[in-house]
Amino acid sequence: MRIKDIKLLWGRSGNRCAICKIELSPDGSAETIGEIAYIVSRTKEGPRGNDALPLAKRDDYSNLMLLCPNHHSEIDKLADSWPSSKLHQIKEDHEKWVSEQLEHGVLSFKPVDNSEYLEKIYDAWVSFSKSQIWVVASLTPLRVDDDSIDPLDDAIIETLNSIHLPGNGFRESYINKYDTRPDENGITNIRTKYLEKGDGHKILIFRNGHCEFLFCLEGSINSITEYAKNREPDKIGSSRIIKYTYLALVITKQLETLKIIWTKCLQFKNMTLTITILNTRNSMLYSRERDPRGALYGYPVQTDRLQYCFIVDRYSELDHLIDIILKRFVNYFGLVLHNILDHNGKFVRPEKL
């Protein structure tokens, strides 16, 4: 789902269920939690899914409506009693009702908007990264309020301490729990003492529910860049090389981690997922270790950051998200998809490359 569609939906719905008009809370901390429902299901098999609407258009604003959990499950369980024509009419009437109420000052609501907060967070990452290439994955509540969670809760600390790191040479390692400590934002696990060798990470769970996993790619970049320059100096020039397999492994691990934190520690129904690679200017993506046609590189990136950001549902399938994100980054780096797809068009995961 696109961010502008979600904001539009919450705004035009006036923070209310389109059917019963109960007030909803996007942060999920209250009893009622707003849920974004599909008028026509995302899949052909789902409720009202057997429809002419193309699958690619099903995440659009025009196919979404905001409901309370009760009505969401009702329209999906009793799909025959809630055909899409009826739902479109309900949505239209509800939005009209909201705008009338707002005009008369009867209704007011806090807008759902975390974009200002995300800008601030981004500035903090930039200064933390000190011109090195880091990958950052984060989840942010749609409405950012302080004290959404207690970061010193035992369950949260335990979850944080159980995290695996994407180790070098694809070895897994747990984070060191002695690096876990409270700070001004919430609770963090940070290890930067090997940064001169290019290794470091920072994982943070904020009091407001925002969580982030920063991982330094420099160690891997240094060794692969050295290797590539020796082999193909003309092609590489002054660029720095990011290995696709390693990037894919790091992003996969980060997303698995965030999903665990979300499931175990946070109640939000929807959150903004952001994947950012910092300090990317003049870096290239190297797609495979060995390829019969020789090494495959993209083109040197001309911007300081590559970012992909969208809203996800807590029940979104992780594999599907990882596919979307990795494809997008391969595209950002100027590689074509056959570099990472097998002959069946299926995504090649890091362990198979």
- Segment lying near Zn ion (by CB under 5 A), choices 19-27, 124-132, 190-198, 209-217: 19-27
By CB under 5 A, tell whether 242 contacts Zn ion. no
By CB under 5 A, tell whether 78 contacts Zn ion. no
- Segment lying near Zn ion (by CB under 5 A), choices 11-19, 199-207, 222-230, 316-324: 11-19
Q: How far is the CB of 82 from Zn ion (least distance, A)?
A: 12
User: Are the CB atoms for 41 and 48 separated by under 8 Å?
Assistant: yes
Q: What is the CA radius of gyration of the chain?
A: 22
Q: Is 169 left (phi over 0), alpha (psi -120 to 50) or beta?
A: left
- How long is the chain? 353
Interface pick for Zn ion out of 6, 19, 205, 340 (rule CB under 5 A)? 19
User: Are the CB atoms for 340 and 287 separated by under 8 Å?
Assistant: yes
- Segment lying near Zn ion (by CB under 5 A), choices 9-17, 49-57, 125-133, 329-337: 9-17
Cβ nearer to Zn ion, comparing 28 with 200: 28
Interface pick for Zn ion out of 1, 6, 9, 17 (rule CB under 5 A)? 17
Cβ nearer to Zn ion, comparing 71 with 240: 71
Cβ nearer to Zn ion, comparing 20 with 78: 20
Cβ nearer to Zn ion, comparing 253 with 269: 269
Q: List Cβ neighbours of 188 (8 Å cut-off, separation of 6 or more).
A: 180, 181, 182, 202, 203, 204, 205
Binding mask 80-119 for Zn ion (x = CB under 5 A): ----------------------------------------
How many angstroms separate the CA atoms of 72 and 295, rounded?
Answer: 50
Cβ nearer to Zn ion, comparing 37 with 165: 37
- If we measure between CA atoms, which residue out of 311, 254, 248, 256 comes closest to residue 285? 248
* Size of interface with Zn ion, in residues (CB under 5 A): 5
Cβ nearer to Zn ion, comparing 64 with 68: 68
Q: How far is the CB of 34 from Zn ion (least distance, A)?
A: 10
With b for 16 or more beta-carbon neighbours within 10 A and e for fewer, the 222-236 pattern comes to eebbeebbeeeeeeb
Binding mask 33-72 for Zn ion (x = CB under 5 A): -----------------------------------x--x-
Which tokens is 66 given? 């905001």
Which tokens is 33 given? 């939690």
Place of tokens 């963090």: 188
Q: Which amino acid is at 11?
A: G
Q: How far is the CB of 316 from Zn ion (least distance, A)?
A: 23
Interface pick for Zn ion out of 2, 20, 131, 155 (rule CB under 5 A)? 20
Place of tokens 């901390």: 29
Residue 53: Cβ within 10 Å count: 17
Cβ nearer to Zn ion, comparing 71 with 210: 71
Q: How far is the CB of 268 from Zn ion (least distance, A)?
A: 19
Residue 78: Cβ within 10 Å count: 10
Helix and strand numbers (H, E) in the chain are 9, 13
Cβ nearer to Zn ion, comparing 19 with 139: 19
Give residues in contact with Zn ion (CB under 5 A).
17, 19-20, 68, 71
